[in-house]
Structure 1
Amino acid sequence: MRLSVLIKHLEEYAPLNYQEDYDNSGLLAGNPDQEITGAMVALDCLEEVVDEAIAHNFNLVITHHPIVFKGLKKLTGKNYVERVLLKAIRNNIALYATHTNLDSVSNGVNGVICNRLGLQQAKILSPKSGLLKKLVTFCPLAQAGMLREALFAAGAGHIANYSECSFNAEGFGTFKAGENTDPFAGAKGLQHQEPEVRIETIFPAQLERKVLLSLLENHPYEEVAYDIYPLENKLATVGAGMIGWLTDEMELNDFLHFVKDRMNVTLIRHTQDTGKKIKKVAVCGGSGSFLLNHALAAGADAFITADFKYHEFFDADGKLVIADIGHFESEQFTSDLLIDIIREKFPNFAIRLTEHNTNPINYFI
Structure 2
Amino acid sequence: MTTIKEITQYMEQLAPLSLQENYDNAGLIVGNPHEPVKGILCTLDCTEAVVAEAEAQGCNLIIAHHPIVFKGLKKLNGKNYVERVVIEAIKNDIAIYASHTNLDHVRGGVNDKIAAMLGLEKVKILSPKKNILKKLVTFVPIEHAQAVLMALHEAGAGQIGDYKNCSFRTEGIGTFRPTAQANPFIGTLNQDEEVREFRIEVILQDYQEPQILAALKKAHPYEEVAYYLSILENEIAQVGAGAIGRLGEEMDEIAFLNYLKEAMSLQIIRHTPLLGKKIKTIAVCGGAGSFLLQDAIRQGADVFVTADYKYHEFFDAENKIIICDIGHYESEVYTKELIISYLSEKFSNFAILKSQVNTNPVSYF
1:161-310 to 2 correspondences below 5 Å: 161-310=162-311
Cα distance in 1 between the residues matched to 2:170 and 2:291: 43
Moved over 3 A (4+): none
Partner of 1:9: 10
Alpha-carbon distance, 1:356 to partner: 1.1
Q: Percent identity?
A: 53
Partner of 1:58: 59
Cα distance in 2 between the residues matched to 1:55 and 1:220: 55
Partner of 1:107: 108
Alpha-carbon distance, 1:245 to partner: 0.6
Cα distance in 1 between the residues matched to 2:155 and 2:356: 40
Partner of 2:83: 82
Cα distance in 1 between the residues matched to 2:40 and 2:18: 24
Partner of 1:323: 324
Amino acid at match of 1:355: Q
Instruction: Note the residue ranges of structure 1 that are not aligned, 5 or more in a row.
Output: none
Alpha-carbon distance, 1:92 to partner: 1.2
Alpha-carbon distance, 1:163 to partner: 1.2
Aligned 8 A contact 2:161 2:237 in 1: yes
Alpha-carbon distance, 1:184 to partner: 2.2
Partner of 1:31: 32
Cα distance in 2 between the residues matched to 1:212 and 1:148: 12
Aligned 8 A contact 1:42 1:354 in 2: yes
Alpha-carbon distance, 1:57 to partner: 2.1
Partner of 2:147: 146
3-state SS of paired residue (2:173): strand
Amino acid at match of 2:24: D
Cα distance in 1 between the residues matched to 2:356 and 2:274: 38
Amino acid at match of 1:49: V
Cα distance in 2 between the residues matched to 1:57 and 1:258: 38
Cα distance in 1 between the residues matched to 2:313 and 2:275: 16
Amino acid at match of 1:271: T
Cα distance in 1 between the residues matched to 2:184 and 2:218: 16
Cα distance in 2 between the residues matched to 1:244 and 1:354: 30
Amino acid at match of 1:94: A
Aligned 8 A contact 1:281 1:301 in 2: yes
Aligned 8 A contact 1:117 1:259 in 2: yes
Aligned 8 A contact 2:37 2:350 in 1: no
Alpha-carbon distance, 1:185 to partner: 2.1
Alpha-carbon distance, 1:355 to partner: 1.5
Amino acid at match of 2:57: H
Partner of 1:334: 335
Cα distance in 2 between the residues matched to 1:289 and 1:9: 31
Cα distance in 2 between the residues matched to 1:89 and 1:81: 13
Alpha-carbon distance, 1:205 to partner: 1.2
The superposition leaves residues 260-315 of structure 1 with CA deviations (integer Å, 9 ceiling, x where unpaired) of 11111111011111222111110001111111011111111100000101110100
3-state SS of paired residue (1:345): coil
3-state SS of paired residue (2:345): helix
Aligned 8 A contact 1:305 1:330 in 2: yes
Normalised to the residue count of structure 2, the TM-score between the two structures is 0.98
Cα distance in 1 between the residues matched to 2:338 and 2:349: 17
Alpha-carbon distance, 1:91 to partner: 1.2
